Structure 1
Amino acid sequence: MKSVHPYCFSGVGPLGETLKLFKSEKLVVEYVAEEKTLIVGWKGKVKSEELRNGYDELLELVHRLRPRKWQLDLTKRDKLKKKDQRWIFENFLPKVLRAVNDDVFMAVIVPVIMLNELVSELSGDELMHKGNFLIMQNFMYREEGQRWLNEMEMIKLGANKVS
């Protein structure tokens, strides 16, 4: 895995100025400061060890940035083994919730059929921690996912003002 300097400007993407935080052969992690969104993109066939190493790198970034809005782009990644999918939900996502210590909104950019596979075996407990939730929604396009993330943030901010 090849790490990039944590705040290295990488250019202007469709969502605004994009900071490239991490890049390997299979994983790219970027942050769009204007949108306060972490962009995670996987590609190709990912072995169990590569997956876990990539998510370990990602968790280090999560501890630093505490991002509440995510785009997880799986459109270029091959299908995972069920045990690896389960590992993500049982190990990685609960750690994200603990690190962020707030609700996390994740726009998953993937064909609908793949999302159903990802969440079909979950009880729901994996996506909660101390009253905070990790809420996932499926989208076919990044722009559509970003609109949803921004709406969720506005709803969350509005709810906090009322309480």
Structure 2
Amino acid sequence: MARLSETVASVATRRNASPAPTWLLAPETPDDTANLLDDLTAWLGAIYLRYPDGLAALPDCWLWHPDVVEELVWLMHAWSAAYQGPAASVALAGDWHDRQRPGVVRRIRANHGSCSIERHRDGPGRPPITTGRPDIPGRDQISEIAAWWATARDYAPPEPAELVSEGAWT
């Protein structure tokens, strides 16, 4: 009887959990979208990129793909639900590891595996990117991407900065 009571309480708690924010319907204010991207990039560095397949599948132009950002935002919140708060559980963590994270990696790789910053630049004759990628690709352009997505998402995104030596962005 005690276990049944705990199960019912756990299910009720999960139903009352707040929904994950969505990048695709992010607030139309640059500060709010920048905060969402700041949280996401912190989580990417702390969690997602520690898995070799996640690191290998994440293209350096991930910020320019709203579907990739959306996948990563909900995955971050699924991780949080699995590991933090009163409804966290071993079952949710197992689901995150066995199904959710590999599914996101697979979709990113399938849809954007051959993409790169170069494919997002206009104009012929730009030199190819030849240096390694930074810890979190595009981090230096978060405020620019956030402002674009918040105020002009139906128009072309800003051009990516050029990658220069030692993985730094210009």
RCO higher in 1 or 2 (8 Å CA, sep ≥ 6)? 2
Q: Same fold (TM over 0.5)?
A: no
Structure in which a larger fraction of residues adopt helix: 2
TM bucket, shorter chain: under 0.3
TM-score normalised by structure 1 residue count: 0.24
Larger Rg: 2
